[in-house]
Amino acid sequence: MDLHLHTPASRDYQEPRVSYLDILRQAEARNLDIIAFTDHNTVAGFAAMQQQIEELKLLERLGRLQAHEERRLVEYRRILDKVLVLPGFEFTATFGFHILGIFPPDTPFTFLEHLLLSLNIPLSQLQAGSSTVGASADVLTVYQLINNAGGLVIAAHANSGNGVVMRGLDFGGQTKIAYTQDPNL
């Protein structure tokens, strides 16, 4: 299981030529049965993969699939029978802390986009995949909103510079306790 995967939808993704099918192939090769697409402040990667699959299915229904498209659709289906892909995002909260929100597989990406908007991601940045959108919402509010929306909340790389343990920041113990032991986490 890998619940913290980025895709080309994240601005800092290191391999922009990698396809969503390539990411699924890697998950299969690593024997992962569950993965989550958690791009920076966007669900554009999950939405793009879903759109690619839906376009291939439409061409199939219309009898217009070309051989290479049929091979891709067959491979998508084969891998998705083995690997569950969950939609999500890596949200940048106050002080640059990163928080994962991971949702059930049937969660519409438009619902997740509305959630990101409610967390003050600017509409102009919703597709950007940037981790530098600014301090859009405080940590505890983010935990609560994701949890109330049916998501799993994970403090991403908690012990790093962008983690809620706040290494290098002079916060009191109560703040650290609140950020690491909140019931929504």
Is the pLDDT at 103 greater than 80? The verdict is yes
On average, the pLDDT of the chain sits at: 89
Higher model confidence: residue 3 or residue 163? Answer: 3
Question: For the chain, how big is the Rg over CA atoms in Å?
Answer: 18
Residues sharing a CB contact under 8 Å with residue 80, sequence separation 6 or more, in sequence order = 24
CATH number of the domain encompassing residue 137: 3.20.20
Q: Which of 18-22, 76-80, 103-107, 121-125 is least confident?
A: 121-125
How does residue 181 score in pLDDT terms, banded at 50, 70 and 90? confident
Residue located via tokens 């997740």: 112
**Kind and range of the H or E run holding 176:** helix 173-181
Question: Which H helix or E strand runs over 99?
Answer: strand 98-102
pLDDT of residue 14: 84
The boundaries of the domain holding residue 144 are 2-181
- Report the domain count for the chain: 1
Whole-number pLDDT of residue 124: 78
Tens-digit pLDDT profile for residues 118-168:
998 888 777 776 777 655 788 899 999 999 999 999 988 665 556 555 555
